[in-house]
Structure 1
Amino acid sequence: MSNSEDSQQYMDLIVKEEEEMSGDESDKQDGHGSMLREQDRFLPICNIIKIMKVPVPQNGKIAKDARECIQECVSEFISFISSEAIERSVAENRKTVNGDDLLVAFSNLGFDNYVEPLSIYLQKYRESNKSDRNLFMDSNYAQNEDGATNEAMK
């Protein structure tokens, strides 16, 4: 199946879900039938505005409808990528989505330009976590060598 067919199926699903929901509600149902509040569906607007202000001149302004549009688009994009990553983890009988699932999702959905930079970032993130963990373990070992017991550290 091509990326455009995948995108079309996804958009058809979104339209169908929106038609099934009443137009008056600001809340939507998640895949399990429970209601989601609008603040749970979208990224925080303050984070969106911070990013949007970066290329805008200091005295420039961003219209409210532009901020809300970007907020909705970014949130939809994240849902789109996440859905693909979740499908992969479910297909592999895993309950947890990992960074590699997201990278494959980006590639499958035609966002190949993002895969390499995100792979580099993920690798550096994992290395950073390893060194942080090692630092934590070393400090625990040093404390134990000084006579502290595991019970005292809890």
Structure 2
Amino acid sequence: MVENDNNIIPPFNHNLQVQTVLLTLTNCTAGVEDDQPLISREHDRLLPIANVGRIMKQILPPNAKISKESKETMQECVSEFVGFVTGEASSKCSQEKRKTMNGGDICWALGSLGFDDYAEALKRYLHKYREAEEERVHHNKAKEAPALVDLGLNLMERRRF
């Protein structure tokens, strides 16, 4: 822990940051139309500053303040990082003649760019995320099955009378 003006700043939370990076990377889209004005391109290139500020606040003590300049600087950095990683993953997909980029491509890109620690953490998160999604789907199917059986029995009972 680091002390700062009588406040204790918690250690870096890798899980929270990996989740944020994964969500950010999976929500990005590549490519900008050539006929769009330059101002629109600059705006589209940057992640929303409110989201960047919210992520920054999560790691700081509750009473800490973040200047607008700090948020803008971080916005530029994280936007560049996301573009850098996405570009590497996109190149891999192009070489493999695929149009859809997936989480595994992002993990590969992080590793190939030298961010091995992030790549491994992201692989673990992606695996857990996929397991949770699979469990959620099975849980929803199990919930729907009795309702469908009840509906079928009710219809059959009504037909008898």
The TM-score normalised by the length of structure 2 is: 0.66
Corresponding residue for residue 81 of structure 1: 85
How many residue pairs end up in the alignment? Answer: 120
Deviation at 1:56, TM superposition (A): 3.6
Q: Note closer, same or farther for the CA distance 1:142–1:45 as it changes in structure 2 (3 Å cut).
A: same
Per mean C-alpha deviation after superposition, the further-off stretch among 132-141 and 98-107 is 132-141
Deviation at 1:103, TM superposition (A): 0.6
Q: Which has the larger radius of gyration?
A: 2
Gaps of 5+ in 1: 1-29, 149-154
After superposition, the C-alpha distances for 1:14-39 in whole angstroms (9 at most, x for unaligned) are xxxxxxxxxxxxxxxx4441424544
Per mean C-alpha deviation after superposition, the further-off stretch among 31-40 and 118-127 is 31-40
Deviation at 1:70, TM superposition (A): 0.5
Deviation at 1:54, TM superposition (A): 3.4
The TM-score normalised by the length of structure 1 is: 0.69
Runs of 4+ in 1 over 4 A off after TM superposition: none
Q: Could you tell me the percent identity over the aligned residues? A: 41
Deviation at 1:55, TM superposition (A): 4.0
Tell me the C-alpha RMSD between the 2 structures.
2.1
Distance 2:150 2:61 in 1: 56
1:121 equivalenced with 2:122 (yes/no): no
Gaps of 5+ in 2: 1-30, 153-161
Contact map agreement 2:32 2:41 (CA 8 A) in 1? no
1:144 equivalenced with 2:152 (yes/no): no
SS at the partner of 1:54? helix
Distance 1:31 1:37 in 2: 7
Q: Relative contact order: is structure 1 or structure 2 higher (C-alpha 8 Å, sep ≥ 6)?
A: 2
Corresponding residue for residue 34 of structure 2: 33
Deviation at 1:131, TM superposition (A): 0.5
Contact map agreement 2:107 2:123 (CA 8 A) in 1? yes
Q: Note closer, same or farther for the CA distance 1:146–1:38 as it changes in structure 2 (3 Å cut).
A: farther
Distance 2:137 2:60 in 1: 39
SS at the partner of 1:146? helix
After the TM superposition, which residues 45-60 of structure 1 pair with which residues of structure 2 at under 5 Å, given as runs? 45-60=49-64
